[in-house]
Amino acid sequence: MSDCTWPGKDELMLAYHNQEWGVPLHDDRKLFEFMVLDAFQAGLSWKIVLYKRESFRRAFDNFDVLKISMYDDERIQMLMQDASIVRNQAKIRATVANAKAFLLILTEFGTFDNYIWQFTGGKTIVNHPKANGEIPAKSMESDAMSKDLLSRGFKFVGSTICYAFMQAAGMVNDHFDGCRYK
């Protein structure tokens, strides 16, 4: 089996790939973290967001959804001054809106985990790509997830972002065939 190393990737990227990406995740706080980070990644490289991950954790109260749901304009403007994160006001405001919508899902489903895994029937979809070109940007499942999240008031949850989230949360496993981390 391969260690899934590839040219041009550094240790942090490899550690993320080998230890987190594609691993089924059922912790609500971590699921919210990945949703936030994937939204911030839109239009950027994952490497940028990954290198700012600890700063995002600090800036967003370790992704405490209740605290984030109560952020006001003053807090949003404070975050806009924080050079250690991606300072995109629309994405910051989306994070607050998503925290509020997340809490509503908790009320309805008990956990976000119960809600989000329904889109894959509670199982990881294992694909068998042999090259990057075989990994889709979205799927029927991410289309359905996006549509439902949008209907519940979430922002920055298009199908491509949802697919990236599904990969991060292990709802989809797109490790190459032969990768020992599959």
Q: In the prediction, which pLDDT does 2 show? A: 46
Does CATH number 1.20.120.1200 belong to domain 11-173?
no
**Residue appearing with tokens 């990406």:** 21
The CA distance from 61 to 39, in Å, is 17
pLDDT in tens, 147-168: 999 999 999 999 999 999 999 9
Give which of 27, 16, 41, 172 is closest to 94, Cα–Cα.
41
Q: Which residues of 119-138 are buried (b: 16+ CB within 10 A; e: fewer)?
A: bbeeebbebeeeeeeeeeeb
Domain ranges of the chain: 11-173
Whether pLDDT at 24 is above 80: yes
- For the question of whether the overall pTM of this predicted structure is more than 0.85, the answer is yes
Q: Which is higher by pLDDT, 174 or 50?
A: 50
The CA distance from 122 to 134, in Å, is 24
Whether pLDDT at 13 is above 90: no
Q: In the prediction, which pLDDT does 21 show? A: 78
Q: In the prediction, which pLDDT does 6 show? A: 54
Whether pLDDT at 20 is above 80: yes
Q: In the prediction, which pLDDT does 182 show? A: 46
Length of the chain: 182
pLDDT in tens, 32-69: 999 999 999 998 988 899 999 999 999 999 999 999 99
Q: In the prediction, which pLDDT does 4 show? A: 58
Q: Cβ(18)–Cβ(4) under 8 Å?
A: yes
Alpha carbon separation from 93 to 31, 53, 69, 124 (Å, rounded): 18, 18, 10, 31
Whether pLDDT at 71 is above 50: yes
* Token reading at 145: 């997830």
The CA distance from 36 to 142, in Å, is 16
pLDDT in tens, 110-141: 999 999 999 999 999 988 777 777 788 899 99
